[in-house]
Chains A and B, each alone.
Chain A
Amino acid sequence: MKPFEYIAVHTIAEACDALAAHGAETRLLAGGTDLLIELRRGSKKAPRVVLDISGVAEMAGIAESGAHITLGPLTTHAELARSELLREFAPLLGEAAAAIGSPQIRARGTVGGNIMNAAACADTVPPLIALGATVALQSKAGCRELALADLFVKPYQTRANADELLTAVRFPKPGPGARSAFIKLGRRNALAISRLSVAAMLELGKDGRITEARIVPGAAFPTWQRVTEAERLLLGEMPGEPLFASAGRKVSEEMIKATGRRWSTEYKEPGYLRHHQWPAAHAHSPRQHEPARPPAGPPGPLGHQVRL
């Protein structure tokens, strides 16, 4: 590890001041599960300052306010996975978090770090995009809010400026007719970085027909994007197996169009076909979340992971 100056801050205002002073030479430290590996690797762009934001209390926790759910960026994957609120309103996000890394990684890794690191395999991003999430970026100059889907330029690069801090992730509570699913294909059951995942949200009308569909694959396209061609197939239809299979085929086709055939295509393609056969995407009710537990540390179930 190359030497650096370590600064710990405890409020958003302090963090913004520090970023205004030396943003360009600074790296933010939340859970450290990505950053410490980078620091150890000692890349050429080693930061002069590591700004520890892990003690900023106003950036932690999950809150419900009116029609929205707000996640503090310091919320850990373990907290996402065991949240009652997410179990009710966004089970696909809890499941995605429960499938990340290992208990140790889930205890430290945060949703803010997962988003801002912007790896193509970041597991919380597809569900959050499917949920229609926005992110708040704060600097000394002010705060701006943008759609999460618009935050990314390419893998490992976001549109956030060097003096900006991610302070909140927000999404509207899905209505009572919502159905969702998150599916991850890893190479083995633990510590499997996503080779392939897909998050899907459906809204059903009173007559049971699909009125809205959002399908976001992870680790499949150069950046995250909704697969509108596949979504369109679902609109106005009754949910069911053959329909999901054809939507799955569409996702595969679009993936191949966007990336060309690669060595991994052979298994990614059937992956989508198979995974769109899930049971009408489960309703918003408890499934494979981590169990509720007392405050100290939880290892929890790994969510839906499918072994290859």
Chain B
Amino acid sequence: MNLLDLLRDRLGLSGTKCGCEIGECGACTVLLDGEPVNSCLVLAPQIAGRQVLTVEGLAPEGGLHPLQESFLDHDAAHCGFCTPGMLLSAKALLDWNPRPTEGEIRRAISGNLCRCTGYQQIVAAIEKASAS
């Protein structure tokens, strides 16, 4: 079983999305010890002793993460399917590079496909969240 199925089917954490299951869409992105990975390509037992962050763990109890606020403000989630993965890739970026350039933002989300937005709003949302 892969980590994606473990999260969704066994643990009921359906925030992580299942798209292509071959590492290409990034909808299943989670942070493994702080690094963005495709959970569809991680075998479940490989996370033993390691920390996994899913979108459910992003926001503080009862609130939203600044990235989520910014995505709302910028209309950066349309259908929303790519959003959990985008948020986690963006969080990984800002954690080690709090003031990224636009180019760095685009590279950081280059493994996350969005069929709705054309990326412009997403990049703007991440840029704004980094500045605040």
Contacts and interface: CB of A to CB of B under 8 A. Distances in A.
Asked if A and B bind, the verdict is yes
Main secondary structure of the interface of A (DSSP, over half): loop
B38 A105 contact: yes
A296 B41 contact: no
Given A6-B45, A52-B45, A296-B33, A40 B96 contact: no
Query: Which of A78, A298, A301 has most chain B Cβ within 10 Å?
Result: A298
A112 to B, nearest CB: 16
A31 B42 CA distance: 8
B110 interface: yes
B46 A54 contact: yes
Contact of B41 (A33, A54, A298): A33
B83 interface: no
Interface in B1-57: 1-2, 21-24, 26, 29, 31-38, 40-43, 45-46, 48
A189 B110 contact: yes
Main secondary structure of the interface of B (DSSP, over half): mixed
Given A32-B46, A300-B107, A107 B97 contact: no
B97 A293 contact: yes
B130 interface: no
B58 to A, nearest CB: 15
Contacts of B89: 103-104, 299
Range, interface on chain B: 35 or more
A103 B2 contact: no
A104 B21 contact: no
Contacts of A32: 41-43, 46
Contacts of A298: 35, 92, 96
A14 B1 CA distance: 24
A277 B89 CA distance: 36
A126 to B, nearest CB: 22
A104 B38 contact: yes
A302 interface: yes
B104 to A, nearest CB: 8
Contacts, number: 112
A302 B124 CA distance: 21
A258 interface: no
A103 B91 CA distance: 13
Interface string A1-23: 10000101000000000000000
Contact of B107 (A50, A52, A104, A302): A302
B77 interface: no
Given A8-B45, A102-B26, A105-B23, A190 B111 contact: yes
A299 B36 contact: yes
Contacts of B22: 37, 40
A297 B23 contact: no
B129 interface: no
Contacts of B35: 78, 107, 296-298
A297 B90 CA distance: 11
Contacts of B95: 296-297
Nearest to B29: A104
A27 B100 CA distance: 40
Interface in A155-191: 189-191
Nearest to B33: A296
A151 B11 CA distance: 43
A10 to B, nearest CB: 11
A105 B110 CA distance: 11
Contact of B23 (A37, A54, A78, A301): A37
Interface of A: 1, 6, 8, 29, 31-33, 36-37, 40, 50, 52, 54, 78, 101-105, 107-108, 189-191, 291, 293-302
Interface of B: 1-2, 21-24, 26, 29, 31-38, 40-43, 45-46, 48, 89, 92-93, 95-97, 103-104, 107-112
